[in-house]
Amino acid sequence: MHISYKSVLRSKGEIFGIEVGIGKERQVSSFSTITSIPVFTVTVGSFKQPQPFRCGKCRKWIIYCDKVIEVCAKNEDVTPKGEPKRYLDCRECENFDNGRCAYIVYHGKAHDHSNKVRKLRYHYSCVKDDKFVQKTLERAKKPKLIAPIPWVDGLEYIKPEF
């Protein structure tokens, strides 16, 4: 049996199991029953939109760029309020290169792989000539050319120690 749990041991002796990913209720239940350790289920991204994302056009994985990896490695992936940053604005990156960076993600309406107009995440290189993309970028009030940052949902239920 492959167990993908991680555990958190707190200073007062409390221990929590952490299961990454959903749909493993039987495995979590067995573990908790045997050990009496409560388990939190978490996911990378949100439970509604887990990461990594796939491009809505080519259906290939959207991978994290070096800049995102650097930001995460330096623990700069949170806002001053302590909330997780969801993305970097690619237009502010030194690697943007007038939109030629291979890692740029467009988040908005475009023609998907079946030619339906859908609001998804796309490799910018896959949809840069789409008329919906061009219109959206002209009118955008918030960044649409982004580099997604991974974050973990579910840990907010564990209260900080004092």
Contact indicator for 105, 145 with CB cutoff of 8 Å:
yes
Does residue 1 carry a pLDDT above 50?
no
Quick one: pLDDT at residue 8? 63
Nearest to 84 by CA among 145, 151, 147, 144: 151
CA distance 107 to 126: 12
Rounded average pLDDT over 14-23: 77
CA distance 100 to 104: 8
Quick one: pLDDT at residue 45? 72
More confident residue, 17 or 59: 59
Write phi, then psi, for 18 (nearest 5 degrees).
-125, 120
Rg (C-alpha) for the chain, rounded Å, is 19
Strands 15-20 and 39-44: parallel
Quick one: pLDDT at residue 5? 44
CA distance 114 to 105: 19
* Model pTM score: 0.72
- Which pLDDT band holds residue 140 (cuts at 50, 70, 90)? confident
Does residue 2 carry a pLDDT above 50?
no
Give Cβ neighbours of residue 82 (< 8 Å, ≥ 6 apart): none
- Over the chain, what is the mean pLDDT? 84
